[in-house]
Amino acid sequence: MGRITARRRVTRIRRDAAPTQRADTLAVEEPLEIRVGGRQLSVTMRTPGNDFELVAGYLVSEGVITAGSDYSTARYCAGTDSTGANTYNVVDVSLAGHVPPPAPGIVRRNTMTSACGVCGKDSIESVHTRSAHDPAADTLTVDADTLLDLPDRLRAEQDVFDKTGGLHAAALFDADGELLVAREDVGRHNAVDKVVGWAVLADRLPLSGTVLQVSGRASFELVQKAAMAGIPMLSAVSAPSSLAADLADDLGITLIGFSRGESMVVYTRPDRITTDGADLPAAVTN
Strands 142-143 and 39-46: unpaired
The pLDDT score that the predictor gives to residue 142 is 97
Predicted local confidence at residue 160, as pLDDT: 76
Of 231, 227, 239, 286, give the one whose Cα is nearest residue 265. Answer: 239
Q: Read off the pTM.
A: 0.87
Residues in the chain: 286
Instruction: Please state the rounded mean pLDDT for residues 172-181.
Output: 98
pLDDT for 21-79, tens place per residue? Answer: 999 998 899 999 999 999 999 999 999 999 999 999 999 999 999 999 999 999 998 66
Q: CA dihedral defined by 43, 47, 51, 55, rounded to 10 degrees?
A: -40
Identity at 140, one-letter amino acid code: L
Instruction: Give the per-residue pLDDT at 62.
Output: 93
Give dist(CA 120, CA 268) in Å, integer: 29
Residue 166 is predicted with a pLDDT of 72
pLDDT of residue 87: 78
Helix axes 188-201, 220-229, angle to 10 degrees: 0
Please check the confidence at residue 128 and state whether its pLDDT lies above 90. Answer: no
Q: What angle do CA 72, 78, 81 make, to 5 degrees?
A: 140
Q: Has residue 284 got a pLDDT over 70?
A: no
Catalytic residue among 26, 67, 107, 116: 116
Question: Secondary structure of the chain in the HEC alphabet?
Answer: CCCCEEEEEEEECCCCCCCEEEEEEEECCEEEEEEECCEEEEEEEECCCCHHHHHHHHHHHCCCCCCHHHEEEEEECCCECCCCCECCCEEEEEECCCCCCCCHHHCCCCCECCCCCCCCCCCHHHHCCCCCCCHHHCCCCEEHHHHHHHHHHHHCCCHHHHHHCCCEEEEEEECCCCEEEEEEECCHHHHHHHHHHHHHHCCCCCCCCEEEEECCCECHHHHHHHHHHCCCEEEECCCECHHHHHHHHHHCCEEEECCCCCCCEEEECHHHEEECCEECCCCCCC
**Amino acid 67: pLDDT:** 96
Q: Is the pLDDT of residue 125 over 50?
A: no
pLDDT in tens, 130-163: 889 999 999 999 999 999 999 999 999 988 777 8
Question: Cα–Cα distance between 157 and 100 in angstroms, integer?
Answer: 37
Torsion of CA 214, 219, 220, 225, to 10 degrees: -20
- H/E/C letters for each residue in 61-104? HCCCCCCHHHEEEEEECCCECCCCCECCCEEEEEECCCCCCCCH
In the chain, % of residues over pLDDT 70? 85
Is 77 one of the catalytic residues?
Answer: no
Q: What distance in Å separates the CA atoms of residue 22 and residue 184, rounded to the nearest whole number?
A: 25
